[in-house]
Amino acid sequence: MTKRFKNIDNALDIEPSTIEVQAEEVRETSKEIIRQNKKIKKSNQKEEIDLDYVYSRENNYDLTSTINEVIYEMFEIAKNTQKARDFEVVGQLIKIAKELDDGYLDRHQKLKKIKEEEEDKKTTIKNQTTNAVFVGSTAELQKFLKESMKGS
């Protein structure tokens, strides 16, 4: 370290070389994090969609199992108390469970639509012709060249 930090180093009982090593470690760690972030940004959109689908599906399974347990427990409470409000709560929970089940189908349809759109994009790109100088058959090209040769 420089001379002006010597007093601080002595007061804190730190060796200058330790700080330099720690600073270098921080720099290397920062560089590694930046490299990893660049890799993440370059990741394939298809992979992200698949990961999101799996994550969403797992969350829905967890929610479904939890709400089924809650429905069972609440139904037992409603049977014991015979209160209308308790049965109303059970009905609302059943409605929520049905909406979760509908979410499974919606998720499948959305994923299927996204994959179809990706396939359509690939097909469009494959069938797209750019910078075409001449579009036609070989015979038409020869005829065009002969006519242009006669004209010049």
Segment 91-149, tens digit of pLDDT: 998 998 888 888 888 888 888 888 888 777 766 666 666 666 667 788 888 888 888 88
Dihedral angle, C-alpha 120, 121, 126, 132, nearest 10 °? 120
Residue 135 backbone phi and psi in degrees, to 5: -120, 115
Classify the phi-psi angles of 136: left when phi > 0, otherwise alpha if psi is within -120 to 50, otherwise beta: left
| Token pair in block for residue 152 | 């010049």
pLDDT in tens, 41-56: 555 667 777 777 888 8
What is the 8-class DSSP label of residue 3? G
CA 56 to each of CA 30, 43, 50, 100, 142: distance values in angstroms, whole numbers, following the listed order: 32, 19, 10, 11, 59
Residues 6+ apart with CB under 8 A from 53: 107, 111
Note the pTM of the prediction, 2 decimals: 0.45
- Comparing 6-15, 58-67, 135-144, the range with the smallest average pLDDT is 6-15
> Taking a C-beta distance cutoff of 8 angstroms, is the pair 101, 64 a contact?
yes
Nearest Cα neighbor of 125 from 114, 133, 117, 137 is 117
| Token pair in block for residue 94 | 């059943």
